[in-house]
Amino acid sequence: MSNTYRAVEYREHGDSSVLTLGKRAVPEPGRGQVRLAVRAAGVNPFDWKVRRGLFGPSMPASFPAVPGSDVAGVVDAVGPEVTEFAVGDEVLGAASGSYAEVALASAHNLVAKPAGLSWADAAALNTGVTTAYRALALLNLVAGEVLLINGAAGTVGSVAAQIAVGRGLTVIGTAGLSNHEYLRSLGVTPVLYGDGMIDRVDAIARIDAALDTAGRGALPDLIELTGGTERVITIADGQAGELGVRFSSGSADEQVPGALAEGVALAAAGKLTLPVTTYPLDEAAKAQDESEAGHVRGKLVLVI
């Protein structure tokens, strides 16, 4: 490996024009870490929200910052006390600064990549799987109940819908008309979001619980449809606290042990799929612009 690598970085908050492609010195993995030769990196709404400074000036903690957390790649160096992986292993999971040719990751945030998964499909899984599993756990769903997913065609919505259907739940999902056939293919009953959504959902079924993945002001409707705030979860709406709805941010106490490994096994068996749209590393700005515009079906992935 060369002693430098390419990485997408930015030196100030702003729109996607602040993203540049720079070179960095290859780091050595620390205790409990592995170094990855990155093959693909997932693009999440969180990435552009941090870039824009929507979480405040302290995030990221320093500049220049490299976006990204979802990763798939090959282990090319192993730090002290790592026993799970060896050089040459193909893995996927979470790594800070994954929009790059090289990234460091904690070994406990990675799982083995099944041989049958492409690099892009592998990089698409981490956030969707771990977020969907924790949200479904927080909602305490049981077979036979009806779950409404707001933003069901996106990454988390798609994964949550497939897991829920597999567990014997009835799933209704909001999406634009262009994604309705896609949702039907997942076993989801689609409804159009926006004005009149309550009436459209009421005409289908009584809702037991609701998951908001879109963060576009739908929480009051979800509260009305479920009859209260107790079984409404959002991962995207910053107004949740004012409405008495739980905002799930992925804190340690929310995590579901083994979720990523279980989700990856489902994907390898063809029981969990995500449509993937790919971009090369030097088009990270275009990928983030597409994410910010909304209406993404499945997952956006940078292929390195």
Q: What is the structure's pLDDT at 226?
A: 97
CATH number for the domain that contains residue 285 = 3.90.180.10
Same domain, 120 and 190: no
Query: Following DSSP, what letter does each residue of the chain receive, concatenated?
Result: --SEEEEEEBSSSSSGGG-EEEEEEPPPP-TTEEEEEEEEEEE-HHHHHHHHTTT-TTSSSSSSB----EEEEEEEEE-TT--S--TT-EEEEE-TT-SBSEEEEEGGGEEEPPTTS-HHHHHTTHHHHHHHHHHHHHHT--TT-EEEEETTTBHHHHHHHHHHHHTT-EEEEEE-GGGHHHHHHTT-EEEE-STTHHHHHHTT---SEEEE-S-SS-HHHHHHHHTSSTTEEESS-TTHHHHTPEE----GGG--TTHHHHHHHHHHTTSS---EEEEEGGGHHHHHHHHHH----BEEEEE-
Same domain, 58 and 115: yes
CATH number for the domain that contains residue 213 = 3.40.50.720
Measured between alpha carbons, how far apart are the two ends of the chain, in Å? 15
- Would you say residue 261 lies in a domain? no
- Would you say residue 205 lies in a domain? yes
Torsion of CA 235, 237, 240, 246, to 10 degrees: 0
Decide if pLDDT at 61 tops 90: no
- Would you say residue 267 lies in a domain? no
Q: What is the structure's pLDDT at 1?
A: 65
Same domain, 57 and 75: yes
- Would you say residue 15 lies in a domain? yes
- Whether residue 106 contacts residue 33, with contact meaning beta carbons closer than 8 Å, is answered with yes
Same domain, 152 and 219: yes
Average pLDDT over residues 35-56: 96
Same domain, 120 and 52: yes
Same domain, 85 and 177: no
Q: Which two tokens stand for residue 162?
A: 């497939």
C-alpha to C-alpha distance for 173 and 118, rounded to whole angstroms: 28
- Would you say residue 51 lies in a domain? yes
- Would you say residue 268 lies in a domain? no
Same domain, 114 and 215: no
> The pTM is what?
0.95
Same domain, 56 and 119: yes
Q: What is the structure's pLDDT at 215?
A: 87
Q: How many domains does the chain have?
A: 2
Average pLDDT over residues 281-304: 95
Please name which of 126, 151, 135, 105 lies closest in space to residue 246, comparing C-alpha atoms: 135
Q: List pLDDT tens digits, range 102-154.
A: 999 999 999 999 999 999 999 999 999 999 999 999 999 999 999 999 999 99
Residue 9's contacts (CB-CB under 8 Å, 6 or more residues apart) are: 19, 20, 21, 22, 24, 64, 65, 66
Same domain, 120 and 135: no
- The widest CA-to-CA distance across the chain, in whole angstroms, is 61
Same domain, 67 and 147: no
Name the band, by pLDDT with cuts 50, 70 and 90, for residue 255. very high
Decide if pLDDT at 2 tops 90: no
Domain span including residue 185? 131-253
- Would you say residue 55 lies in a domain? yes
Residue for token pair 């963060």:
215
Same domain, 154 and 121: no
- Would you say residue 53 lies in a domain? yes
Kindly provide the b/e burial profile for residues 211-239, where b requires at least 16 CB atoms within 10 angstroms of the residue's own CB.
bbbbbeebbebbbebbeebebbbbbbbee
C-alpha separations of 274 from 30, 87, 163, 228 in Å:
33, 29, 12, 31
Residue 137 burial class via C-beta count within 10 angstroms: exposed 0-12, middle 13-18, buried 19 and up: middle
Average pLDDT over residues 165-184: 97
Average pLDDT over residues 280-301: 95
Could you tell me how far CA 153 lies from the centroid of its own chain? 12
Kindly provide the b/e burial profile for residues 72-93, where b requires at least 16 CB atoms within 10 angstroms of the residue's own CB.
bbbbbbbbeebeebeeebbbbb
Q: What is the structure's pLDDT at 181?
A: 97
